[in-house]
Amino acid sequence: MTRKDAPFLLVLFAAVLALFAPGLVDPSLLAVNFGDLQGYHFPLRFLAAGRLQSGALPFWNPYIFAGLPMFANPQTGTLYPGSLPFWTFPVGWAFTAFLTAHLLWGILGAYLWARAERIDRLGAFTLACAFGFSPFLLYRIPQGVPTHLAALSFIPWCWMALRARNVWMLGGLWGVQVLGTHPQFPFLNALAMGLYALGRPKERLPVLVKSAALAGALAAVQLLPLLRFAGESSRSALPEFFFNAYSQPLRALGTIVCPGLWGDPLRGTFAGLPSEFYEEYAVSIGLAGLVLSLLGLRSRRAWFGWGLAAAGALLAAGRNNPLAGLIGALPLLGYSRVPARFSVWIVWGLILAAAEGWRGLKNPRWKVGLAAFLFLDLGFWAVRTVSFEDSAPSLSPSVMMRERLAGKPLRFATDPKIANPNKAMLYRASNVNGYDAFFLGRFVEFAYRAEGKAAADPSRSYLTRVESPQLKGLGVAHTLTFDGDRPVLRENPGALPIARLKTANGWTPLDSAVNPRPERWELSGTAPAGASLVLAVPRYPGWTATLDGVPVATRLHDGLTQAVSVPPGAFHAVFRFSPPGWAGLAALAALLWSAWIASGCAFALRSLRAQAL
């Protein structure tokens, strides 16, 4: 890249900054979305930021689903470099900065990838615009899933690293993605790169294998807790209807020509759920981009791009595809629980083909015309897609919640009619219900016993029978519901303390139960003969207990929580949680990332010296 590239990048960057200017200028504004930003990502990042600012790593989240691992969820982004704005600025403004930075990153990557492919500057501008302003990326903003946009922004960088056969770069990029973006898109992109590598297996496959090994080592500190959590989560066996719900219908491919062909949820013109629209109806790279992709068919080099797009359409169809049963049985292709996300192959395949179409163009007027039309076309849809609104109506604090539930050693249950159970995290109030991509599989079984029927789907729970023995045993002391339009808290008489002694005659309160942070409980009391100490926090690998300083084994209590046996007399118990092997994983991560950075700096210095000579 030289100074001559600067004007093209400046135009693209200026367009991005203009698009996000309202939110960058006014921290009280949030991107308009259908709820996930305020209802899921904002509370999660707010809680993580508070924990980090207090000097603690957020290993455990006690505020939804009665408790679940927090660090293991990569969407928390604890170690992700792109999360820096959340730790230093107001969370609302940090989201705008996060989205802006990742869109700029994706556009810069697409431009540099195109230049590495020896596309001229105007062509690189056009392809970067087709990628960065494509609905597939921008729809992630009204969808309310910033980690999707973060993951997608790395795609051109990864392909550029593969083209250069740069193991250091590709392994580092994959490792960073694992630390804090949505894991599915990096996996699907890596799978597409594997297909591409088959064209020159001796040159490319070793790069992919070595890069994957490097990424696994660099990101082991996040990857191993994630894999453990996934294996014990509700996602280990999703129901058929969830797979069907996000299968791309054939008609969605019409949005390749026009993004608004079937309407727009933001304007109430789409006949379906907003989540279905943003997952399934986002395959355009602009009309001019499509023209370039078609022109690329004149070159054999574009055939892979079109083949990838066709494969993406086949796989994204999910259960709408007659071969779905066979495809779903394959270990790798069956990985996607939202088959519509294979449409990332459609978008990137069209970009690859468009690059060849541009390469074959010889008429400068056609080039300028197509570039200008694509910029204006996708710019029009971008302005319709990205807008901002006052965050106060959805995030204003509740005095009732703050005074009666915040920081209290008890739990409450939100009425399922309340759309955002995760706002409990904003108050550090413990909700037995919640909304997340992963929660413990044991919780699903526990919820069934409490309700006498299914009370959880793949991402949410709907517990209401607070009078049940199970929920009283979890310490659910209140229900948050509505009286007309007014939220009210209703008492649940008979709810037990979260920490207590179970005896032959029932239960006995403790002398002291201190919970200085989510990962630590300090409990003291006097136990009669045959008593058990119950901590109504889900039992999960990483929780350990000591009794008067001596390690003791915990056991499963009531199918979800944990307990230890205590001898008669006075005792002091401490329960702690940290990811298994955390000290070793953290040391390994520090060592490997330091070595990765040092090797990159050394290479850069050698390159500078070589240029000077």
pLDDT digits (tens, 9 = 90+) for 482-519: 888 888 999 999 999 999 999 988 999 999 999 999 99
Residues 446/558, Cβ–Cβ less than 8 Å = yes
Could you give the CA distance from residue 446 to residue 202 in angstroms, rounded to a whole number?
Answer: 51
Phi, psi of 371 (to 5 degrees): -65, -45
Identity of the amino acid at 427: Y
- pLDDT surpassing 80 at residue 536: yes
Tens-place pLDDT, residues 64-104: 999 999 999 999 999 999 999 999 999 999 999 999 999 99
**Strand partners for 526:** 570
Q: How confident is the model at residue 431 (pLDDT cuts 50, 70, 90)?
A: very high
Pairing of strands 411-414, 430-431: parallel
pLDDT for the residue numbered 210: 97
Give one DSSP letter per residue of 272-332, joined into a string.
Answer: S-HHHHHHHS-----HHHHHHHHHGGGSGGGHHHHHHHHHHHHHHTGGGSTTHHHHHTSTT
Place of tokens 């040159």: 203
Q: In the prediction, which pLDDT does 474 show?
A: 96
Residue 608: pLDDT band by 50, 70, 90 thresholds?
confident
pLDDT of residue 280: 95
The lowest-confidence range among 6-20, 150-164, 223-237 is: 223-237
pLDDT band at 458 (very low <50, low <70, confident <90, very high): confident
Which pLDDT score, from 0 to 100, does residue 147 have? 96
Could you tell me how many residues make up the chain? 613
pLDDT, average across residues 227-255 = 80
Lowest mean pLDDT among 21-30, 347-356, 451-460, 579-588: 451-460
Judge whether residue 331 has pLDDT over 60.
Answer: no
What pLDDT does residue 453 have? 94
Q: In the beta sheet, which residues pair with residue 200?
A: none
The pLDDT assigned to 237 comes to 57
Distances, alpha carbon 262 to alpha carbons 34, 97, 268, 271, 282, in Å:
18, 31, 11, 8, 11
Burial of 454 (0-12, 13-18, 19+ CB in 10 A): exposed
What is the number of other CB atoms lying within 10 angstroms of the CB of residue 409?
14
Is 60 exceeded by the pLDDT of residue 334? no
Helix ranges (DSSP H) in 524-581? none
Task: Determine which helix (DSSP H) or strand (DSSP E) holds 522, and give its type and residue range.
Answer: strand 520-527
Q: By the 8 A CB rule, do 52 and 86 touch?
A: no
Q: Which two tokens stand for residue 534?
A: 């119950």
- Mean pLDDT computed over every residue of the chain: 93
Q: Which has more pLDDT, 235 or 403? A: 403
Q: How far is CA 184 from CA 244, 366, 436, 563, in A?
A: 18, 38, 15, 36
Chain segment 538-555, per-residue pLDDT in tens:
999 999 999 999 999 999
The stretch 156-185 carries a mean pLDDT of 96
483 versus 363: the higher-pLDDT residue is 363
Residue 47 CA to residue 56 CA, distance in Å, equals: 11
Judged against a pLDDT cut of 70, whether residue 240 lies above it is answered with no
Residue 244 has pLDDT above 70, yes or no: no
pLDDT digits (tens, 9 = 90+) for 550-573: 999 999 999 999 999 999 999 999
pLDDT at 332 over 60: no
At residue 528 the predicted structure's pLDDT band, cuts being 50, 70 and 90, is very high
Other C-beta atoms closer than 10 Å to the C-beta of 544 total: 15
pLDDT above 80 (res 336): no
pLDDT for 121: 97
Closest CA to 212 of 253, 167, 165: 167
Which residues, including other chains, have CB under 8 Å from residue 315's CB and lie 6 or more apart?
321, 327, 333, 336, 339, 342, 345
Q: What per-residue confidence (pLDDT) applies to 338?
A: 85
Least confident window among 256-270, 319-333, 457-471: 319-333
- What's the whole-number mean pLDDT along residues 193-205? 94
Nearest to 55 by CA among 583, 406, 519, 430: 519
Contacts 24+ apart (CB under 8 A), 329-336: 332/191, 333/191, 335/184, 335/187, 336/184, 336/188
Residue range 324-351: mean pLDDT, rounded: 78
pLDDT band at 329, cuts 50/70/90? low
Burial of 86 (0-12, 13-18, 19+ CB in 10 A): buried
Task: Kindly tell me if the per-residue pLDDT of 521 is higher than 70.
Answer: yes
pLDDT above 90 coverage of the chain, percent: 84
Model confidence band, residue 246 (pLDDT cutoffs 50, 70, 90)? confident
Residue 557: predicted pLDDT: 96
Residue 238 has pLDDT above 70, yes or no: no
d(CA 426, CA 351): 41
Q: Give the bridge partners for 535, in sequence order.
A: 499, 562
| Rounded Cα gap, residues 213 and 225, in angstroms | 17
Residue 430: its pLDDT value, please? 96
Asked if the model's pLDDT at residue 38 lies above 90, the reply is: yes
Tell me the one-letter amino acid at 57: L
Confirm if 321 and 178 have CB atoms less than 8 A apart.
no
Q: What is the pLDDT of residues 275-303, one digit of tens each?
A: 999 999 999 999 999 999 999 999 999 99
Token digits for 244?
A: 């069907």
Name the one residue in this structure whose structure tokens are 């540099």. 112
> Is the pTM of the predicted complex or chain greater than 0.85?
yes
* Cα–Cα nearest to 219, from 250, 186, 261: 186
φ, ψ at 449 (rounded to 5°): -65, -35
Cα 205 to Cα 213: distance, rounded to the nearest angstrom:
12
